[in-house]
């Protein structure tokens, strides 16, 4: 879940106000340097005004009429001074904002450290797959002495990066980590070893690591080494970093986000099929961010034939997802943008030929390679189907020459279904370490994906427009007969992006 920074400001005396919102749990931070003498109080009040203005903006963007927040007022530089925690309710009536707040408790700076760790972890987004986003901060005598995050799979973990940044001894220090430190040899050695070696005295952990190779083992090893371990610290906020990892590491299949953009009357195109554009530039920018964050992107051949999309990430410095095209009978044209760019952007095409073997058709095994022209005497009773298979293989061969990997995954459990077995496809993609997929399907593929039970999250972008007419909708297929048969969703959040709305749901299983 992304941290929304709505507003922040500083004044000449070092007073600082900021507002950050973690989804589902609103937090306001106001910081003011110095002690609470008369002049400083003014800075605090000024800081709070900025905070409330920020909250007002945030409420407008999120269509909220009331918001409950926890407000931390800091005295002294972050990480060193004391913090007073307040409960605060803001309510909007018309254009007036009413604020009620009361002091609740004096808290330690630990929340600030952990929020910094969460911020660091985000830097790995889009790059560290299939590993989780993890951050770490090392604190000694009220000072941050080391910071790090997990930047790329195969490279050092967050804890080891934080240790590598140290300019002084971490003996007796506390390390804050968003995820339980690992205790196994994977692509890298265990982080627990590095923490013990550094003689760190205390480890504060956000999320537990569901990886069966860790799963409580990291905390146990640390405790056995005499280190104090605090678990579940700001756990919800840390867990919100890694829904993809938690799903992937326990199921070995990708976390699938079904994304679509529709009008307020539920249309994804006009009656003539035109769909450019439904949502505005800002919402489309958010989709680019999602493409960067997901390891794969999936679409159907219908979308390729209709729009000739690139399905890449157009953010500067962003990462292109692996493109996965469901194309049962290999209709994808060689001159499509996808085929023309497959040498640069990894691309998988998924067919569903019952007569071909299951799984990836390896280029070396592709008979089309040697099948120049079959000898006439080779013709027999089976020649017709053989010729059919040969022509399929030669199409596969031409796609492979474009740089495309072809997987044949017919639905063996339901021979009536002429489309790929999506649940099986997810297993195969999981083996390729694809941990997340942005499903940008049309209504047919979306319906198949929901029916196959492979979708974990739905993101609906809703544009303030009405198309009317006989036009396509996000989920087609046969549909259900009674409301009780619906795919059930759980509301997660709604956000206004430009003129559009983005609503996020979790698919209930």
Q: Which residues carry out catalysis? A: 159
8 A C-beta contact, residue 123 and residue 3: no
> Shortest approach of Zn ion to residue 159 CB, angstroms?
6
Instruction: Residue 179: name its binding partner from Zn ion, ligand AOF, none (Cβ under 5 to 8 Å by kind).
Output: ligand AOF
Q: Which helix (H) or strand (E) holds 106?
A: strand 96-107
> Shortest approach of Zn ion to residue 177 CB, angstroms?
9
Q: Does 182 bind Zn ion (CB under 5 A)?
A: yes
- Residue of 84, 104, 105, 98 lying closest to 52 (CA atoms): 98
- Residue of 78, 168, 167, 177 lying closest to 137 (CA atoms): 177
Q: Which stretch binds Zn ion (CB under 5 A): 52-60, 174-182, 254-262, 403-411?
A: 174-182
Instruction: Residue 217: name its binding partner from Zn ion, ligand AOF, none (Cβ under 5 to 8 Å by kind).
Output: none
Instruction: Residue 441: name its binding partner from ligand AOF, Zn ion, none (Cβ under 5 to 8 Å by kind).
Output: none
> Shortest approach of Zn ion to residue 133 CB, angstroms?
13
Measured between alpha carbons, how far is 28 from 14 in angstroms, rounded to an integer?
18
Which residue's CB is nearer to ligand AOF, number 211 or number 400? Answer: 211
Measured between alpha carbons, how far is 203 from 211 in angstroms, rounded to an integer?
19
Instruction: Residue 389: name its binding partner from ligand AOF, Zn ion, none (Cβ under 5 to 8 Å by kind).
Output: none
- Residue of 321, 336, 343, 400 lying closest to 367 (CA atoms): 400
**Which stretches within 151-280 are classed as H helix?**
158-164, 191-197, 217-224, 235-239, 243-251
Q: Which stretch binds Zn ion (CB under 5 A): 27-35, 178-186, 456-464, 492-500?
A: 178-186
Q: Does 157 bind Zn ion (CB under 5 A)?
A: yes
Q: Which stretch binds Zn ion (CB under 5 A): 150-158, 164-172, 349-357, 465-473?
A: 150-158
> Shortest approach of ligand AOF to residue 162 CB, angstroms?
9
Radius of gyration of the chain from its Cα atoms, rounded to whole angstroms:
27
HSE-CB of 165 using CA atoms within 13 angstroms: 18
DSSP 420: B
Site string for Zn ion, 101-140 (x = CB under 5 A): ----------------------------------------
Instruction: Residue 267: name its binding partner from ligand AOF, Zn ion, none (Cβ under 5 to 8 Å by kind).
Output: none
Measured between alpha carbons, how far is 480 from 237 in angstroms, rounded to an integer?
36
Contacting residues for 375 by C-beta, under 8 A, at least 6 apart: none
User: What are the start-end ranges of the E strands in 346-488?
Assistant: 347-351, 359-360, 404-408, 436-439, 457-463
> Shortest approach of ligand AOF to residue 320 CB, angstroms?
22
Q: How many residues bind Zn ion (CB under 5 A)?
A: 3
- Residue of 118, 55, 122, 125 lying closest to 91 (CA atoms): 55
Which residue's CB is nearer to ligand AOF, number 75 or number 127? Answer: 127
Which residue's CB is nearer to ligand AOF, number 176 or number 407? Answer: 176
Which residue's CB is nearer to ligand AOF, number 188 or number 270? Answer: 188
8 A C-beta contact, residue 203 and residue 230: yes
HSE-CB of 492 using CA atoms within 13 angstroms: 18
Structure tokens at 279: 């949502």
Which residue's CB is nearer to Zn ion, number 109 or number 180? Answer: 180
8 A C-beta contact, residue 310 and residue 509: no
8 A C-beta contact, residue 264 and residue 466: yes
Query: What is the binding site for ligand AOF (CB under 6 A)?
Result: 131-132, 134, 150, 153, 157-159, 179, 181-182, 186-188, 191, 209, 211, 214, 249
Which residue's CB is nearer to ligand AOF, number 153 or number 229? Answer: 153
Backbone angles phi, psi at 121, to 5 degrees: -55, -40
Instruction: Residue 463: name its binding partner from Zn ion, ligand AOF, none (Cβ under 5 to 8 Å by kind).
Output: none
Instruction: Residue 158: name its binding partner from Zn ion, ligand AOF, none (Cβ under 5 to 8 Å by kind).
Output: ligand AOF
Which residue's CB is nearer to ligand AOF, number 150 or number 286? Answer: 150
Q: Does 191 bind Zn ion (CB under 5 A)?
A: yes
> Shortest approach of Zn ion to residue 130 CB, angstroms?
14
**Site residues (CB under 5 A) for Zn ion?**
157, 182, 191
């Amino acid at each position: 879940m992304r941290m929304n920074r709505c507003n922040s400001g500083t004044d000449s005396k070092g007073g600082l106000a900021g507002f950050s919102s973690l989804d589902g749990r609103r937090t306001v931070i106001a910081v003011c340097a110095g002690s609470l003498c008369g002049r400083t109080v003014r800075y605090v009040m000024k800081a709070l005004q900025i905070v409330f203005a920020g909250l007002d903006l945030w409420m407008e963007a999120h269509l909220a009429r009331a918001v409950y927040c926890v407000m931390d007022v800091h005295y002294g530089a972050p990480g060193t001074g004391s913090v007073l925690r307040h409960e605060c309710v803001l309510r909007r009536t018309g254009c007036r904002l009413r604020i009620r707040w009361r002091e609740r408790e004096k808290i330690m700076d630990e929340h600030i450290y952990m929020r910094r760790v969460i911020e660091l972890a985000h830097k790995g987004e889009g790059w560290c797959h299939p590993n989780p986003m993890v951050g770490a901060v090392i604190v000694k005598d009220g000072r941050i002495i080391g910071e790090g995050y997990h930047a790329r799979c195969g490279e050092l973990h967050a804890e080891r990066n934080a240790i590598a940044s140290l300019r002084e001894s971490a003996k007796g220090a506390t390390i804050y980590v968003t995820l339980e430190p690992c205790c196994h040899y994977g692509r890298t050695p265990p982080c627990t070893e590095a923490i013990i070696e550094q003689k760190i005295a205390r480890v504060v952990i956000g999320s537990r690591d569901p990886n069966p190779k860790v799963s409580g083992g990291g905390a146990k090893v640390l405790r056995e080494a005499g280190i104090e371990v605090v678990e579940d610290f700001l756990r919800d906020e840390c867990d919100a970093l890694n829904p993809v990892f938690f799903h992937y590491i326990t199921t070995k299949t990708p976390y699938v986000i079904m994304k679509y953009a529709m009008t307020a009357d539920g249309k994804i195109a006009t009656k003539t099929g035109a769909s450019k554009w439904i949502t505005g530039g800002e919402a489309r920018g958010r989709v680019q961010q999602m493409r960067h964050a997901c390891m794969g992107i999936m679409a159907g051949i219908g979308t390729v034939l209709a729009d000739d999309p690139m399905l890449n990430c157009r953010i500067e410095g962003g990462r292109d997802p692996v493109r996965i095209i469901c194309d049962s009978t290999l209709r994808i044209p060689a001159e499509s943008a996808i085929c023309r760019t497959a040498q640069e952007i990894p691309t998988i095409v998924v067919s569903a030929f019952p007569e071909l073997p299951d799984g990836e058709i390896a280029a070396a095994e592709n008979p089309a390679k040697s099948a120049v022209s079959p000898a006439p005497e080779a013709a027999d009773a089976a020649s017709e189907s053989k010729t059919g298979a040969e022509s399929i293989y030669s199409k596969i061969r031409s796609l492979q020459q474009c740089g495309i990997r072809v997987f044949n995954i017919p639905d063996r459990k339901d021979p009536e279904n002429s489309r790929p077995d999506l649940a099986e496809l997810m297993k195969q993609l999981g083996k390729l370490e694809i941990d997340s997929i942005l499903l940008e399907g049309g209504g047919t593929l979306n319906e198949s994906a929901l029916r196959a039970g492979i979708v974990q999250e739905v993101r609906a972008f809703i544009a303030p427009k009405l198309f009317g007419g006989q036009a396509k909708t996000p989920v087609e297929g046969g549909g259900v007969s009674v409301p009780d048969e619906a795919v059930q969703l759980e509301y997660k959040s709604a956000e206004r992006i430009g003129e559009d709305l983005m609503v996020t749901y979790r698919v209930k299983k």
